[in-house]
Structure 1
């Protein structure tokens, strides 16, 4: 995630949202709800960067 935070202003909002979603889905930080959490974070990024 460090590379994402360093490049967040250089990436298009769709690219940033997709990369964050993919990383969260890949690492599976939670026992349950990883997909829902990744989609929620993705939607939050798209709403903020809109």
Structure 2
């Protein structure tokens, strides 16, 4: 990988498996910055779509 591309990549990532391989509904998932830095992945929430 070219060094100039590395500036666009994160230094670390976090992941979790949900529903044991079952398909999840489409949607966005969110976590607060504080909970992310604390490593509290149980705080991830699914955001429901809204109409404007």
- Bigger relative contact order (CA 8 A; separation at least 6): 1
TM-score, normalised via structure 2 length = 0.26
Structure whose alpha-carbon radius of gyration is higher: 2
Greater helix proportion? 1
Greater strand proportion? 2
